[in-house]
Amino acid sequence: MTFKSHRAGLAASLALAAGASMLLALPALAQTAAAAAEPTVNKGDTAWMLTATVLVLLMTIPGLALFYGGLARSKNMLSVLMHVFYTVCIVTVIWAVYGYSLTFTGGSSLLGGLSKAFMAGMTPDSKAATFSVGVAIPEYVYLAFQMTFACITPALIVGAFAERMRFAALALFVPLWVTCVYFPIAHMVWYWAGPDAIDAAAKALAAAGDEAAKAAAQAKLDEVNADSGLIFQWGAIDFAGGTVVHINAGIAGLVGALLVGKRVGHGRELMTPHSLTMTMVGASLLWVGWFGFNAGSNLEASGGAVLAMVNSFVATAAAALSWMFVEWGAKGKPSVLGILTGAVAGLVAVTPASGFAGPMGAIVLGLIAGAVCYFFCTTVKNAFGYDDAFDVFGVHCIGGIVGAILTGVLVNPALGGTGIMDYTTGKIADYAFATQVIAQSKAVVLTLAWSGIGSAILFKIVDLLVGLRVKPELEREGLDIADHGERAYAA
């Protein structure tokens, strides 16, 4: 078996625990340790990553913008489109200036440093690690690919407090949120030294002759393994962003919906979607773009990418059907909005699992996610009465949690999963159910706490500085006129 792609491994914990004794049992590996070749860039991988990057941008604009926009009332259509488009623009600039550096350079296990701020030292020939030893992609395309993730995550949040938050408040909240919440979480989950560094250190250890050399090599390996994010070190796996993107955005959305407050007339007046046609177009663009998101997260045009693609097909379809049939049974009619929302819930849930689960596991994951998200978007939301306008919490946070936890189960090779690569041994590590599910759960809890608390503080700061809400009479008139002086549709 060649190298399986994945975001994180048990590498760190295993290496620290098992250490040299495990490696001494592999004399064959020691012989190949000599010269670690400089990783090379492959045109096919580069072409795929360029494609995947624009697919993820397509998810956000116009995909997510139309998905949300159709759910709004017509008087707030432009406001929703503007929130999403502005978010893409501001985060793109921030990412190039300091976001990429804070996320993807070493520093602490919580946040990176500023060594690559202003893209310092980067050229079109710079390389970024993939998940295979000896294989790199251009750092520019890695930066651009990860940029699109940083853009869509805060754009997901806007659905929760749509139709009443001031544009000025959003304009301030988004840069604060990506800086204080997104960059740290993405660093904690995804930053690592890369396969080549671990492989080289492991081989050096295996080749070490005397005790002093062994100790030095072990220290080097420990250092390489420690050069990674906190959640990565815990051994939690997240292929394409279940924690980083969806739980992170989902809980921030719930906090925002609670702090901004309910829309005027919520629960008493008609707040029906103004165009489910646009919502259907948007949901479909999300699905198409999501292949860039999930299969692109493999970073190489290889077997891991095609697995992620198949999983993103079947889990999505299963979740859409799951929601549709549950709703049909519970409410008497299968709704278009239901099947669309189920599909998005399936995409969310399969995101962390897409490169780890087998396709049959992904179908089961989709079936569970569709039903669970339905329950949260209907029964739970109604019971608590919060006004999460477009169900950011019910779909992204809950779907993300279902996906994150079940990824720890479905990665099991006995269930058709890929297992987890251990780069210190160059083999798939033994699967341990409890260890993996506990690591996944810790990642979920830390993300919920960091984003939940961090977002609450940031919303309060923004409220003090510019005020979160528009005035009630302006909210009644609609945010398009109040905030932007425009109408989506001719009167």
Residues of this chain, 313-332, that bind another protein according to CB under 8 A: 331
Task: List the one residue from 337, 437, 456, 474 that touches another protein (CB under 8 A).
Answer: 337
Q: In the complex with another protein, which residue's Cβ is closer, 139 or 387?
A: 387
Identify whether 62 is preceded by a cis peptide bond (ω within 30 of 0).
Answer: yes
Question: Which has the closest alpha carbon to 251: 41, 448, 30, 62?
Answer: 448
Give the distance, in angstroms, between the CA of residue 59 and the centroid of all CA atoms in the same chain: 13
Q: In the complex with another protein, which residue's Cβ is closer, 378 or 441?
A: 378
The answer to whether residue 70 forms part of the interface with another protein (CB under 8 A) is no
Please list, in sequence order, all residues whose beta carbon lies within 8 angstroms of the beta carbon of residue 309, skipping any fewer than 6 positions away.
291, 294, 295
Residues of this chain, 199-238, that bind another protein according to CB under 8 A: none
Two tokens, residue 199: 């492989």
Task: List the one residue from 273, 289, 352, 454 that touches another protein (CB under 8 A).
Answer: 273
Coil, helix or strand at residue 295: helix
CB of 53 to another protein, least distance (A): 32
Cα–Cα distance list, 427 to 29, 90, 431 (Å): 11, 42, 12
The answer to whether residue 272 forms part of the interface with another protein (CB under 8 A) is yes
CB of 69 to another protein, least distance (A): 15
Two tokens, residue 434: 């409890």
Residue 469 phi, psi (nearest 5)? -110, 155
Q: In the complex with another protein, which residue's Cβ is closer, 253 or 273?
A: 273
CB of 327 to another protein, least distance (A): 8
Q: In the complex with another protein, which residue's Cβ is closer, 15 or 286?
A: 286
Q: In the complex with another protein, which residue's Cβ is closer, 43 or 333?
A: 333
Is the separation of the CB atoms in 152 and 245 below 8 Å? yes
Binding to another protein by CB under 8 A, coded x per residue (else -) over 425-444, reads --------------------
Q: In the complex with another protein, which residue's Cβ is closer, 121 or 332?
A: 332
Strand-pair category, 135-138 with 127-129: antiparallel
The answer to whether residue 76 forms part of the interface with another protein (CB under 8 A) is no
The answer to whether residue 379 forms part of the interface with another protein (CB under 8 A) is yes
CA gap 382, 306 in Å, rounded? 39
The answer to whether residue 163 forms part of the interface with another protein (CB under 8 A) is no
Please list, in sequence order, all residues whose beta carbon lies within 8 angstroms of the beta carbon of residue 161, skipping any fewer than 6 positions away.
253, 256, 257, 260, 389, 468
Question: Which has the closest alpha carbon to 426: 32, 79, 7, 92?
Answer: 32
The answer to whether residue 491 forms part of the interface with another protein (CB under 8 A) is no
CB of 80 to another protein, least distance (A): 16
Contact region for another protein (CB under 8 A) — 52-60, 156-164, 336-344, 428-436? 336-344
Contact region for another protein (CB under 8 A) — 39-47, 92-100, 271-279, 297-305? 271-279
Q: In the complex with another protein, which residue's Cβ is closer, 76 or 436?
A: 76
Give the distance, in angstroms, between the CA of residue 446 and the centroid of all CA atoms in the same chain: 15
Task: List the one residue from 42, 92, 335, 441 that touches another protein (CB under 8 A).
Answer: 335
Q: In the complex with another protein, which residue's Cβ is closer, 323 or 356?
A: 323
The answer to whether the Cα torsion of 389, 394, 395, 397 is positive or negative is positive
Q: In the complex with another protein, which residue's Cβ is closer, 270 or 491?
A: 270
The answer to whether residue 377 forms part of the interface with another protein (CB under 8 A) is yes
The answer to whether residue 120 forms part of the interface with another protein (CB under 8 A) is no
Three-state SS sequence of 231-250: HHHCCCCCCCCHHHHHHHHH
Q: In the complex with another protein, which residue's Cβ is closer, 118 or 384?
A: 384
Task: List the one residue from 341, 412, 425, 451 that touches another protein (CB under 8 A).
Answer: 341
CB of 381 to another protein, least distance (A): 5
Task: List the one residue from 338, 358, 400, 408 that touches another protein (CB under 8 A).
Answer: 338
The answer to whether residue 43 forms part of the interface with another protein (CB under 8 A) is no
Task: List the one residue from 381, 427, 484, 487 that touches another protein (CB under 8 A).
Answer: 381
Cα–Cα distance list, 242 to 147, 379, 414, 448 (Å): 16, 23, 23, 12
- Name the one residue in this structure whose structure tokens are 């030292």: 121
CA gap 34, 360 in Å, rounded? 41
The answer to whether residue 456 forms part of the interface with another protein (CB under 8 A) is no
Two tokens, residue 134: 């000896």
The answer to whether residue 333 forms part of the interface with another protein (CB under 8 A) is yes
CA gap 149, 53 in Å, rounded? 9
Cα–Cα distance list, 410 to 81, 363, 488 (Å): 37, 11, 45
Q: In the complex with another protein, which residue's Cβ is closer, 66 or 446?
A: 66
The answer to whether residue 280 forms part of the interface with another protein (CB under 8 A) is no
Plot region of 118 (φ>0 → left; ψ -120 to 50 → alpha; else → beta): left
The answer to whether residue 271 forms part of the interface with another protein (CB under 8 A) is yes
How many residues at the interface with another protein, by CB under 8 A? 17
Binding to another protein by CB under 8 A, coded x per residue (else -) over 394-423, reads x-----------------------------
Is the separation of the CB atoms in 116 and 108 below 8 Å? no
Binding interface with another protein (CB under 8 A): 270-273, 331, 333, 335, 337-338, 341, 377-379, 381-382, 391, 394
